[in-house]
Chains A and B, each alone.
Chain A
Amino acid sequence: MMTASLVMDPHPSVLHAGDTVGQAVKLIMEHRYRNLPVVDEQGRYLGVFGINTLLRMVLPPAVVVEKGLTTAPFVTDGLHDLYLRLAAVEDRPILEFINEDAAVVTSDTPLVESLLVLYRTRTSVPVVEGEERRLVGMISYWDVGSHILEQGH
């Protein structure tokens, strides 16, 4: 059976539990990553940190918190205000901000189901293995696209 392992990148870039927000932001901005998996020293998957996490950090907490403001057209914060929010947390460990609930698939998740998760989450999806959830790869739109297009050759 075709599974997630067929289309995943088995050597993805990762962030480590001890990295700071500043280090993570530098990495995702330099390489324009949308989402990076975060792992501990044993390579166990902990969560994801991505461009959306960065956006969440620079917006007023009142608009990103659950049941917060749904719109804020009256707020006049400028770029400097947004930067100050990021600067206030750049030395903090990324573990405080990672998304632990992001969707993941396992290496034996069927191919179509894996792509459905990718389609619904609209960002790269970590692939984990075993009860300890060891990170074994990432599925991205681009990897999937190139694997599908190869079928025409």
Chain B
Amino acid sequence: MHSEDAVPMVFGWDAMWFAGILFVVTYVLIMSEKINRAIVATSAAALMVLAGVISEQRAIDGVDFNTIGLLTGMMAIVAITRRSGVFQYLAVWATKKVNAQPWGILVMLALVTAFLSALLDNVTTVLLIAPVTLLITEALGVKAYPYLFAEIFASNIGGAATLIGDPPNIMIGSAVGLSFNDFVIHMLPAASLVMVVSMLPIYWVWGRHLQASEENRRRVMNYRERDAITDRVLLIKSLSVLALVILGFAMAHTIGKQPSTIALAGAALLLLLDNLGRKPAKQTESVHATFSEVEWVTIFFFIGLFVVVHGLESTGLLTLVAGEILTLTGGDLTVTAMAILWGSAIASAVVDNIPFVATTIPLIKSMAPTFGGAEHLMPLWWSLALGACLGGNGSLVGASANLIVAGFAERSRQPIGFISFTLAAFPLMILGIGVASVYVYLRYL
């Protein structure tokens, strides 16, 4: 608790009560989706400051600019890179590698989705892959549903694999000081295991029934993936900068720089390379177009949320909640890790995992004295990352990427129903969390 900022009374209420109620109302409004989540989060943040729960300075301190910078930088890089056509190339190339066999295509598109989700944000990935999937399944004469289902799973599993794959990982990495390499070493094996295990039921339910005629497969094999590259110069520039950024992430610890610095530097370099030789007016137009593709709603949602959670934390409420959790788990590391893994998975299946993780981070931090210091909390951090990322697979509302795919499927007249999706996805998510539990137990406990 930050005693220097603690405000005992707000509008005649105990500050802890005020912040707690404001937090719950914020959460409910975010879940209801009646009001845009950025409006909810920024309004709640403004109330937190205007009411005097935290000072303006502490509100700014509460915003994790490393997370904000990393998200913004990567979104700008992807906005430019996608114009080259490289993502369509990758999807079509992968499809042809398996001779346009329907099950092979499903596996390859899921792998491409997982790979891209590990390096880009999940929403961007599915926005890039879902249209190609629709194109290919229409040509094959098969339903898009199993493919889109597998891609939803792959995006959340792939996103769990790296520091930059999913916002919960970015937040955890930034709050705890974990590097890109830490995530690759600890999360990639778990994500790979979950991916393999998740594909087995998908094969059993859908994969083994998928069939396409020779003629339809030939249509897909006739696609010329090289023609997907619409700007070769931009492709070279984009991939070079992307490679540099990934290298920078891998070396961030060694060079003593934050991932946000690397992502923003990469974005600045790519903007420069993309606009070299253009007239100033065209440059402005191009930069404006790039920045307009940054998801500002998500960015401001994060900013507001950081302030709200920081306000809540400053009242000492989260420390109290952490104490209650530790009482329930008996202060046992294994029980606490499993409670966090399963609790965050179930919670993330029904509520947005971003506010959940934002709240859980200070909660876990305050458990450090119980477990003998911050260095002994690592099993809890990996449990939170796995639970929050993989839990998103549990229902259609579990992750933004799921809703994006569902919306796309709806517009394509192949709707993904909430109930039917949940009936298949929730057990599959539980299976994945079971695998993750074994992984966490054997490796860390």
Shortest C-beta distance, A62 to chain B (Å), equals: 4
Q: Is the CB of A76 within 8 A of B222?
A: yes
**Which of A62, A69, A76 has most chain B Cβ within 10 Å?**
A62
- Contacts A61-B412, A65-B408, A65-B412; A76 near B135 (Cβ below 8 A): no
Task: State in angstroms the CA–CA spacing of A103 and B65 once bound together.
Answer: 45
Cβ-based interface call for B138 (8 A): yes
Cβ-based interface call for A60 (8 A): yes
Task: State in angstroms the CA–CA spacing of A68 and B126 once bound together.
Answer: 11
Task: State in angstroms the CA–CA spacing of A7 and B208 once bound together.
Answer: 62
Query: With a CB–CB cut-off of 8 A, which chain A residues contact B85?
Result: 71, 73
- Give 1 or 0 for each of B217-234: 1 = CB within 8 Å of chain A CB: 001001111111010000
Q: Is the CB of A74 within 8 A of B223?
A: yes
- Give 1 or 0 for each of B126-163: 1 = CB within 8 Å of chain A CB: 01000110110011000000000000000000000000
Specify the main secondary structure of chain B where it touches its partner. Answer: helix
Shortest C-beta distance, B41 to chain A (Å), equals: 25
Query: With a CB–CB cut-off of 8 A, which chain B residues contact A31?
Result: none
Query: With a CB–CB cut-off of 8 A, which chain B residues contact A62?
Result: 131-132, 134-135, 138, 412
Q: Is the CB of A74 within 8 A of B131?
A: no
Query: With a CB–CB cut-off of 8 A, which chain A residues contact B230?
Result: 71, 73
Q: Is the CB of B223 within 8 A of A69?
A: no
Task: State in angstroms the CA–CA spacing of A61 and B412 once bound together.
Answer: 7
Please pick, from A66, A69, A74, A81, the residue contacting B225 in the complex, using a CB distance under 8 A.
Answer: A74
Q: Which of A27-81 touch B at CB < 8 Å?
A: 60-63, 65-69, 71-77, 81
Extra 17 A-B pairs, beta carbons < 8 Å, given A61-B135, A62-B132, A72-B135:
A60-B138, A60-B139, A61-B134, A61-B412, A63-B135, A65-B131, A65-B134, A66-B411, A67-B131, A68-B134, A69-B131, A69-B132, A73-B224, A73-B230, A74-B89, A76-B222, A76-B223
Q: Is the CB of B135 within 8 A of A60?
A: yes
Q: Is the CB of B135 within 8 A of A69?
A: yes
Query: With a CB–CB cut-off of 8 A, which chain B residues contact A74?
Result: 88-89, 92, 223-228
Shortest C-beta distance, B400 to chain A (Å), equals: 14
Task: State in angstroms the CA–CA spacing of A66 and B413 once bound together.
Answer: 12
Q: Is the CB of A75 within 8 A of B223?
A: yes
Query: With a CB–CB cut-off of 8 A, which chain B residues contact A65?
Result: 131, 134, 408, 411-412
Query: With a CB–CB cut-off of 8 A, which chain B residues contact A60?
Result: 134-135, 138-139
Shortest C-beta distance, A141 to chain B (Å), equals: 31
Q: Which residue of A is nearest B127, CB measured?
A: A67
Interface residues of B (CB under 8 A from A): 85, 88-89, 92, 127, 131-132, 134-135, 138-139, 219, 222-228, 230, 408, 411-413
Task: State in angstroms the CA–CA spacing of A78 and B260 once bound together.
Answer: 47
List 12 A–B pairs whose Cβ atoms lie within 8 Å, in order of A's numbering. Answer: A62-B131, A62-B138, A65-B408, A65-B411, A67-B411, A68-B131, A68-B408, A72-B88, A72-B135, A73-B227, A74-B88, A74-B225
Task: State in angstroms the CA–CA spacing of A69 and B139 once bound together.
Answer: 15
Query: With a CB–CB cut-off of 8 A, which chain B residues contact A72?
Result: 88, 135
Task: State in angstroms the CA–CA spacing of A68 and B144 once bound together.
Answer: 14
Task: State in angstroms the CA–CA spacing of A68 and B88 once bound together.
Answer: 12
Q: Which residue of A is nearest B93, CB measured?
A: A74
Q: Which residue of B is nearest A73, CB measured?
A: B227
Query: With a CB–CB cut-off of 8 A, which chain A residues contact B227?
Result: 73-74
**Which of A67, A72, A74 has most chain B Cβ within 10 Å?**
A74
Query: With a CB–CB cut-off of 8 A, which chain B residues contact A69?
Result: 88, 131-132, 135
Q: Which residue of A is nearest B82, CB measured?
A: A70
Query: With a CB–CB cut-off of 8 A, which chain A residues contact B225?
Result: 74
The 3 closest A-B pairs by CB, nearest first: A62-B135, A62-B134, A74-B228
Query: With a CB–CB cut-off of 8 A, which chain A residues contact B411?
Result: 65-67
Query: With a CB–CB cut-off of 8 A, which chain A residues contact B131?
Result: 62-63, 65, 67-69
Shortest C-beta distance, B378 to chain A (Å), equals: 40
Shortest C-beta distance, A24 to chain B (Å), equals: 19
Q: Is the CB of A81 within 8 A of B138?
A: no
Shortest C-beta distance, B405 to chain A (Å), equals: 11
Q: Is the CB of A73 within 8 A of B408?
A: no
Shortest C-beta distance, A58 to chain B (Å), equals: 12
Task: State in angstroms the CA–CA spacing of A46 and B194 once bound together.
Answer: 50
Query: With a CB–CB cut-off of 8 A, which chain A residues contact B89?
Result: 74
Task: State in angstroms the CA–CA spacing of A75 and B230 once bound together.
Answer: 13
Query: With a CB–CB cut-off of 8 A, which chain B residues contact A81?
Result: 219
Q: Which residue of B is nearest A66, CB measured?
A: B411
Q: Which residue of A is nearest B134, CB measured?
A: A62
Task: State in angstroms the CA–CA spacing of A61 and B130 once bound together.
Answer: 12
Q: Which residue of A is nearest B408, CB measured?
A: A67
Query: With a CB–CB cut-off of 8 A, which chain A residues contact B132?
Result: 62, 69
Task: State in angstroms the CA–CA spacing of A76 and B220 once bound together.
Answer: 9
Shortest C-beta distance, B320 to chain A (Å), equals: 45
Q: Is the CB of A76 within 8 A of B134?
A: no
Q: Which residue of A is nearest B89, CB measured?
A: A74
Shortest C-beta distance, A100 to chain B (Å), equals: 15
Q: Is the CB of B228 within 8 A of A73?
A: yes
Task: State in angstroms the CA–CA spacing of A84 and B299 once bound together.
Answer: 45
